Chain A
Amino acid sequence: MRKTLFWAFTLFFLVSASQAAPHHKPIRATGKAVLTGKVLVTAPPRKPKKASSSSYYGDDNQPTPTPGPQPPEEILVYVEKVPGKWPAPQRPAVLDQQGVKFTRRILPVVRGTVVRFTNQDPIYHNIFSNSQSNRSFDLGKKSKGQSASVTFTELEVPVKLFCEIHASMSSNILVLQNPFFASTTPGGAYRIEGLPPGDYKVVAWHDYWEPVTFKATVKAGETAVHNVTLDKVRE
């Protein structure tokens, strides 16, 4: 299980690395600002999913194994609105099901992005969403290797994804207006580059903790540092 988690996170980091440097739009180095800082979580941590018992044979008497330390949660920091048009990338975003998990818990996409779902597990998975702004969908059961794509055309935070079979599986697709977003590193740091100067509303978002919105003013060629604290669990 832990190994599965490890793989999931490795994948997540790979994906987030590719997202951190948006490839579709080269940003000019001059006149652009950087927003950086740390997201601190003082609210109680999310309860880890109960670790599966080590034995396949159900035994009333076996104590539940206590889970080990969990890797830090990925928190998404995004700028709410940046003036201008921000087209979606050509290549589809990837959200797989692997190890009875979505490969990403939070997937930020620019409006109009195609998200490709692929089942990597040797078991059936299903993806459905009760999306409000976008069309809600149910992709049906997919066996190993089967894929399906969905285009997210409307701004929506978040589009919640579930698997009909596996209650523990869920993911959040954040359909955003612009590509100025970044996930926190394991240390909690974020860094948004190439931001046009201006006053922005910035959101530190997580599906478990109450998101925090803060105002940030960035000036050309400067680096603005904003630290945020998430101190409440969502109700």
Chain B
Amino acid sequence: MTSTFKLRDKLWVAQTLLVLVVVGGVLVLLNARLKAVSLQALNGDLTNTLSVFQNVVEERTANLAGKAQLVAGLPRLTAAIDVKRYDPIQVSNTVSELCLDLQDTVRAPLFLVVDAKGRVLFDNFHPPEEIRALREGREPDPAKVRAERQSPLKADGWPNIQKALAGQPSRGAFQYDLPSEAAGPKTLAFQTVTVPITAPGGGRILGALVLGFALDHPLADRLKKMTESEVVFELGGKVLASSWDDAKAPGLTGGLAPAAVEAASWREKNGAARSVPVRIDGETFLALFDPFPDVKTDAPGDYVILRSLDKALALQKTLQKSILALGLLGVLLAFGMSLVFAGRITAPLTALSLAAEEVGKGNLHAEVRVEGNDEVGLLAKAFNSMMTGLREKDRVTGILGKYVSPEVAKKILSSEEGLSLQGERRECVILFSDIRGFTAFSENMAPEKLVADLNEYFGLMVETIFEYQGTVDKFIGDAIMAVWGAPVPFEDKELRGVRCALGMQKALIKLNQDRLSRGAQPLTMGIGINVGVVVSGNLGSVRRVDYTVIGEEVNLSSRLCSKAAPGQVLISDAMARKLRGLIEVRPLEPVTLKGFSEPVKVYEVTGLTA
């Protein structure tokens, strides 16, 4: 599958993703840890608050218990109850009067005295009308007195009273219904202490005394101020009082009731308290339930301590935001850095690919800048050295190309064993061509024109030589020396040479037509060809070397050329013999040639055998 994404894009996407994953992971882990720590702290706070709360309640209860012991032991109280001819109404009046007096010092929000039969003798919420009238200095309302006598309050069914009448003090909370004329809520909850009232000395139980403090909003509020936790007194899922305004009670009840059940079932199963999340008016709290059974009805109730989970997690949320911001910054940084980094990696690659494209177009001078020693740097270095190699080869090819045809050059370059350019003897065909009357031709010519004409001529000739895969050995003035058989050996070198010579003459005719049409003087040329063993190899100094052939046969070829008439191709006897049957020749008179003692046989090539 091929991707359409660039390497650079892949790199930065990968890096950015990596940072995202790392930051995300850190965020998730940190978040979980923070939440755990916050929850732990919150639970610790709750537990502490509960113990503070319990201490406060315990202290108040103990204080109340002390008062109860004192009051229950008051001879005046026992005297008021311990009457021989027991008249409950008189006793209730007497006790009530007494207790109202005592209330000035006892100051118990709930103050009950019950006689041995469970009749309520005094109830600070329902003092007898007669006593009220007595204390207020007015006549009692007979209707009220009658009503009171018709429905006396009875507490004989209350477990705490039963216990006290059995001699056993008890502590606990309970709800108490207020008289209808009392202001505020009709039912209040109290934390109470119940003690027996015993006759002095004898230990006979005369009744029971109940003192209690209210589990009300002021207490909850005070506890809240001490512990910074919300406090709720709950009984059977009903909120008795709380540190919140009473307006919140409905929402509180709705949220608390299921949590109370959950907390109770957990406590029953595990024997320990556990905080339970409670949702109240859109805010989540963690609630700890401390059970208090109603000692009057044995209904399950709880002191509930609540702390806002939302507030506790606020720190976590803030941190979360900071981490998120940091993470985003990191991701952005990573994004930017990976862009730069990816750019740094891919820029050389892009440069390389551009350079490679250039090379493809034939520009061997393409190079890339090498930066650093990394893989990319090494690659650039390798590319550059490859280019150096290519250029060297190109240069060699170029140099060769001046001497040999491209095919020969290719052959030379691709030959496996390599071509020896060392000095050696080998049989070669040597061709010389020369412009006839060149001196006269060049005499009245501007040098630029001369060079241009010569180059045009040479170009055409060299092309023809290359066409027959000959090697241009050198130019000597207006003469050309070409060789077949060195460095590349040819089986048909003689035929190639002759055909090449004929081709050259033909090409010249063509050039002359062109020249004539330009109004230039036509050129004529003579060609001499010889074959024989020569010495081939690199000749020259360290500074300049030419691959060439030397020997007598070379001289003969040159002499033959000089003897050739314009348009004539002269070959040696050796050539003629080798090409017998392949070309048509006309033997000429043997000629005496410079450097040769004997007259030399010469043939003029008239054409190829059909």
- Asked if A56 and B137 make an inter-chain contact with CB atoms under 8 angstroms apart, the answer reads no
Residues of A within 8 A of B135 (CB): 1, 4, 52
CB contact under 8 A between A3 and B136, given known A57-B109, A124-B94: yes
A29-37, A159-167, A192-200, A204-212 - the one binding chain B: A159-167
Q: How far is the CA of A2 from the CA of B100 in the complex (A)?
A: 16
- Asked if B79 and A58 make an inter-chain contact with CB atoms under 8 angstroms apart, the answer reads no
Taking the closest CB of chain A, its distance from the CB of B129, in whole angstroms, is 10
Q: Assign chain B's interface to a size class.
A: 35 or more
Kindly identify which residue among A50, A99, A126, A143 contacts B79, using a CB–CB cutoff of 8 Å: A126
B473 located at the interface, meaning its Cβ lies under 8 Å from any Cβ of chain A in the complex? no
- Asked if A165 and B137 make an inter-chain contact with CB atoms under 8 angstroms apart, the answer reads no
A214 located at the interface, meaning its Cβ lies under 8 Å from any Cβ of chain B in the complex? no
- Asked if A58 and B94 make an inter-chain contact with CB atoms under 8 angstroms apart, the answer reads no
- Asked if B125 and A56 make an inter-chain contact with CB atoms under 8 angstroms apart, the answer reads yes
Taking the closest CB of chain B, its distance from the CB of A193, in whole angstroms, is 35
CB contact under 8 A between A164 and B138, given known A57-B109, A123-B93, A144-B90: no
- Asked if A57 and B182 make an inter-chain contact with CB atoms under 8 angstroms apart, the answer reads yes
Q: Mark B57-99, 1 if CB is under 8 A from A, else 0.
A: 0000000000000000001100110011101001101101110
Q: Mark B114-147, 1 if CB is under 8 A from A, else 0.
A: 0000000000110100111011111010000000
Residues of B within 8 A of A3 (CB): 136-138
Residues of A within 8 A of B106 (CB): 58
B107 located at the interface, meaning its Cβ lies under 8 Å from any Cβ of chain A in the complex? yes
Residues of B within 8 A of A2 (CB): 137
What is the predominant secondary structure among interface residues of chain B facing chain A? helix
Kindly identify which residue among B91, B94, B124, B130 contacts A56, using a CB–CB cutoff of 8 Å: B124
Residues of B within 8 A of A168 (CB): 101
- Asked if B111 and A58 make an inter-chain contact with CB atoms under 8 angstroms apart, the answer reads yes
Taking CB as reference atom, which chain A residue is nearest B97? A123
A6 located at the interface, meaning its Cβ lies under 8 Å from any Cβ of chain B in the complex? yes
A53 located at the interface, meaning its Cβ lies under 8 Å from any Cβ of chain B in the complex? yes
Q: Mark A1-25, 1 if CB is under 8 A from B, else 0.
A: 1111011000000000000000000
- Asked if B98 and A166 make an inter-chain contact with CB atoms under 8 angstroms apart, the answer reads yes
Residues of B within 8 A of A167 (CB): 76
CB contact under 8 A between A165 and B76, given known A2-B137, A124-B90: yes
Chain A residues bordering chain B, tally (CB within 8 A): 32
Kindly identify which residue among A58, A99, A126, A143 contacts B137, using a CB–CB cutoff of 8 Å: A99
B253 located at the interface, meaning its Cβ lies under 8 Å from any Cβ of chain A in the complex? no
Residues of A within 8 A of B429 (CB): none
Taking the closest CB of chain A, its distance from the CB of B567, in whole angstroms, is 147
Kindly identify which residue among B79, B103, B111, B140 contacts A165, using a CB–CB cutoff of 8 Å: B79
- Asked if B100 and A56 make an inter-chain contact with CB atoms under 8 angstroms apart, the answer reads yes
Taking the closest CB of chain B, its distance from the CB of A95, in whole angstroms, is 19
Near B by CB (< 8 A), chain A positions 106-144 give 121-124, 126, 140-141, 143-144
Taking CB as reference atom, which chain B residue is nearest A2? B137
Taking CB as reference atom, which chain A residue is nearest B87? A143
Taking the closest CB of chain A, its distance from the CB of B133, in whole angstroms, is 8
Q: How far is the CA of A124 from the CA of B134 in the complex (A)?
A: 13
Q: How far is the CA of A99 from the CA of B130 in the complex (A)?
A: 11
A59 located at the interface, meaning its Cβ lies under 8 Å from any Cβ of chain B in the complex? yes
B113 located at the interface, meaning its Cβ lies under 8 Å from any Cβ of chain A in the complex? no
Q: How far is the CA of A204 from the CA of B85 in the complex (A)?
A: 43
Residues of B within 8 A of A52 (CB): 100-101, 103-104, 135
Taking the closest CB of chain A, its distance from the CB of B440, in whole angstroms, is 147
B108 located at the interface, meaning its Cβ lies under 8 Å from any Cβ of chain A in the complex? yes
- Asked if A58 and B98 make an inter-chain contact with CB atoms under 8 angstroms apart, the answer reads no
Taking the closest CB of chain B, its distance from the CB of A104, in whole angstroms, is 18
A75 located at the interface, meaning its Cβ lies under 8 Å from any Cβ of chain B in the complex? no
Taking the closest CB of chain A, its distance from the CB of B70, in whole angstroms, is 14
Taking the closest CB of chain A, its distance from the CB of B177, in whole angstroms, is 14
A60 located at the interface, meaning its Cβ lies under 8 Å from any Cβ of chain B in the complex? yes
Residues of A within 8 A of B87 (CB): 143
- Asked if B137 and A1 make an inter-chain contact with CB atoms under 8 angstroms apart, the answer reads yes
Kindly identify which residue among B80, B101, B103, B124 contacts A124, using a CB–CB cutoff of 8 Å: B80
Taking the closest CB of chain A, its distance from the CB of B190, in whole angstroms, is 11
A100 located at the interface, meaning its Cβ lies under 8 Å from any Cβ of chain B in the complex? yes
Q: How far is the CA of A163 from the CA of B140 in the complex (A)?
A: 24
A70 located at the interface, meaning its Cβ lies under 8 Å from any Cβ of chain B in the complex? no
- Asked if B90 and A143 make an inter-chain contact with CB atoms under 8 angstroms apart, the answer reads yes
CB contact under 8 A between A4 and B137, given known A60-B109, A124-B91: yes
- Asked if A99 and B101 make an inter-chain contact with CB atoms under 8 angstroms apart, the answer reads no
Residues of B within 8 A of A1 (CB): 135-137
CB contact under 8 A between A6 and B137, given known A56-B127, A58-B108, A141-B83: yes
- Asked if B104 and A122 make an inter-chain contact with CB atoms under 8 angstroms apart, the answer reads no
Near B by CB (< 8 A), chain A positions 139-178 give 140-141, 143-144, 164-168
Residues of A within 8 A of B76 (CB): 164-167
Taking the closest CB of chain A, its distance from the CB of B78, in whole angstroms, is 10
Residues of A within 8 A of B127 (CB): 56
- Asked if A50 and B104 make an inter-chain contact with CB atoms under 8 angstroms apart, the answer reads yes
Q: How far is the CA of A4 from the CA of B106 in the complex (A)?
A: 23
Kindly identify which residue among A58, A61, A122 contacts B124, using a CB–CB cutoff of 8 Å: A58
A64 located at the interface, meaning its Cβ lies under 8 Å from any Cβ of chain B in the complex? yes
Near A by CB (< 8 A), chain B positions 498-527 give none
Residues of B within 8 A of A53 (CB): 103-104
Residues of B within 8 A of A60 (CB): 107, 109, 213
Near B by CB (< 8 A), chain A positions 42-101 give 50, 52-53, 56-61, 64, 99-100
Q: How far is the CA of A203 from the CA of B100 in the complex (A)?
A: 39
Taking the closest CB of chain A, its distance from the CB of B294, in whole angstroms, is 21
Near A by CB (< 8 A), chain B positions 280-337 give none
The 24 listed contacts between A and B (C-beta, < 8 Å) are A1-B135, A52-B135, A56-B100, A56-B103, A56-B125, A56-B127, A56-B132, A57-B109, A58-B107, A58-B109, A59-B109, A60-B213, A61-B218, A64-B104, A99-B134, A121-B134, A122-B134, A124-B91, A124-B94, A141-B84, A143-B85, A165-B98, A166-B97, A167-B76
- 20 more contacts with CB within 8 A, not counting A64-B104, A123-B90, are A3-B138, A4-B135, A56-B125, A56-B127, A57-B125, A58-B108, A59-B109, A99-B134, A100-B134, A123-B96, A123-B134, A124-B83, A124-B93, A140-B84, A141-B84, A143-B87, A143-B90, A164-B75, A164-B79, A165-B98
List the 3 shortest-distance A-B pairs measured between CB atoms, nearest first.
Answer: A3-B137, A123-B94, A124-B94
Residue numbers of B with Cβ under 8 A of A are: 75-76, 79-80, 83-85, 87, 90-91, 93-94, 96-98, 100-101, 103-104, 106-111, 124-125, 127, 130-132, 134-138, 140, 182, 213, 218
